[in-house]
Amino acid sequence: MKTTYIGAVQSGDHDGEQVTLKGWVKRSRGNNNLRFIVLRDSTGTIQCVVKRDAVGDDAFTALSEALIESSLELVGEVKVDERAQGGHEIGVSSGQVIGGVNPERPFPITESAMTSADGGETEFLLDHRHLYLRTSRMTTMLQIRSSVFGAIHGYFRDLDFVEYQAPNFVAGAVEGGSTLFEVPYFGKKAYLTQSWQLYAEAAMPALERLYTIAPSFRAEKSRTRRHLTEFWHAEMELAWATNDEIMSHGEGVVRRIAKTLLDERSDELASLDRDLDLVARYADNPYPRMRYDEAVETLQGMGIDIEWGQDLDYSKEKVLTADFDVPHFLTHYPKVAKPFYHRVDPEDDAYVLCHDLLAPEGYGEIIGGGERTWSEEEILARIDEENVPREPYQFYIDTRAYGGVPHGGFGLGVDRVVSWLSGADHIREVIPFPRDSRRVTP
């Protein structure tokens, strides 16, 4: 294994010491007697100075011929030097190529491919995703992503939620059936899960507080910067909870994520030109709550063509959130716009007790949740009312027959949150191997 990381060297932890560095060539330039190799590892980059006099002819030739992304092991002294980026460089005394690169097949991700992408994603970069991952932009995104996942786990575990796993092969839909991925299953049909929710509700009477982070699959032919067919879904379910209490947790976990990124990934966010003041605003301020009716009135006041009872599509969301400086909850949607598992508002049965959390800056919906229809009579009535077949949901109905209690939960689109908080142009930028309706490779 290796014991010295470039980040530590650049931090000044090894000044004057003899170190062994292991990494990959990011850039290389020089002449017949002197060569500058910018070495990269997972923690940073550093300039390594190779002199023919110091390492001998054979090593000098081998190191000089190492193309971009060759892996090297270099031994040398750490020197403080203002001429080097980062303020430190390595005076190489010996070194070798560990894994070379064939000049006939040089590393395909060139400077031109990177700069023209400019945050967007070209077909070429998507086709070479396995190699694009090691560029600084993708590495940074993956580090930010890791902190987001960690923050979600931290939020729920601090509150004694139990992490709980649902199956990924399922027999029925949560959302509309048209977006299910069908898979052959020993002569029968199965589907890839769209949500952990129905199976979480089965465990709710056992665990009371539960959460997960798991992939969900939706066969939507959506071609937008907010959609993937396979996305990471953070979901929670809480017994005895009201819509307001569920929203408080939604706000809590999103603010925790923003705070964690400021604590752990400020440098990475800054390297992506993300405005840290914006992220701080999302961490420090409460998220207002607005009823659906108020949103519709606001939109109508702006001259937008919308009728009561319509769901709010992205074009409406975009207009509505344009003036928001923090995420806003939208609550109490009309019953006709939502599926059967949303609980009808006892105070007015035209509405359901639900909420969406809309992120600002045009990123749109990041959370959907609410109270569940919890009594057996009501769930049967709602299923029949929407002409949903009872049979695939019998296990779900059963859970209401034995001591049903008020409860609720939400689902958070983790990739969408990463995309929003990192300021990405496209959700594809924040997941290592994005899947959409036209791409399952590499």
CB of 294 to RNA, least distance (A): 19
Question: Is residue 110 part of the contact set for RNA (CB under 7 A)?
Answer: yes
Interface of this chain with RNA, residues 13 to 32, rule: CB under 7 A: 27, 29-32
Q: Find the helix or strand (DSSP H, E) in which 290 lies.
A: strand 289-291
Radius of gyration of the chain measured on its C-alpha atoms: 26
Candidate list 22, 51, 259, 291; residue touching RNA; CB under 7 A: 51
Nearest to 41 by CA among 93, 95, 80, 3: 3
Dihedral sign computed on CA atoms, order 137, 140, 145, 148: negative
Candidate list 116, 165, 271, 300; residue touching RNA; CB under 7 A: 116
Q: Is 423 helix (H, G, I), strand (E, B) or coil?
A: coil
Question: Is residue 136 part of the contact set for RNA (CB under 7 A)?
Answer: no
Question: Is residue 182 part of the contact set for RNA (CB under 7 A)?
Answer: no
Question: Is residue 223 part of the contact set for RNA (CB under 7 A)?
Answer: yes
Which residues, 6 or more positions from 197, have their beta carbon under 8 angstroms from its beta carbon? 174, 235, 237, 341, 409, 411
CB of 401 to RNA, least distance (A): 26
Cis? peptide before 103, omega within 30° of 0: no
* 131 neighbors 113 (Cβ within 8 angstroms): no
CB of 306 to RNA, least distance (A): 11
Site string for RNA, 351-370 (x = CB under 7 A): -----x-------xxxxx--
Candidate list 88, 145, 372, 416; residue touching RNA; CB under 7 A: 416
CB of 1 to RNA, least distance (A): 29
* Residue closer to RNA, measured from CB, 80 or 206: 80
Report the largest interatomic distance among the alpha carbons of the chain, rounded to a whole angstrom. 87
Candidate list 252, 318, 324, 378; residue touching RNA; CB under 7 A: 318
CB of 105 to RNA, least distance (A): 9
CB of 435 to RNA, least distance (A): 10
Number of H helices and E strands in the chain, helices first, is 16, 16
CB of 203 to RNA, least distance (A): 19
Question: Is residue 157 part of the contact set for RNA (CB under 7 A)?
Answer: no
Candidate list 179, 248, 266, 298; residue touching RNA; CB under 7 A: 179
CA distances from 255 to 20, 22, 416 (A): 41, 38, 15
The interaxial angle of helices 314-321 and 292-301, nearest 10 deg, is 80
Matching residue, tokens 């002449």: 31
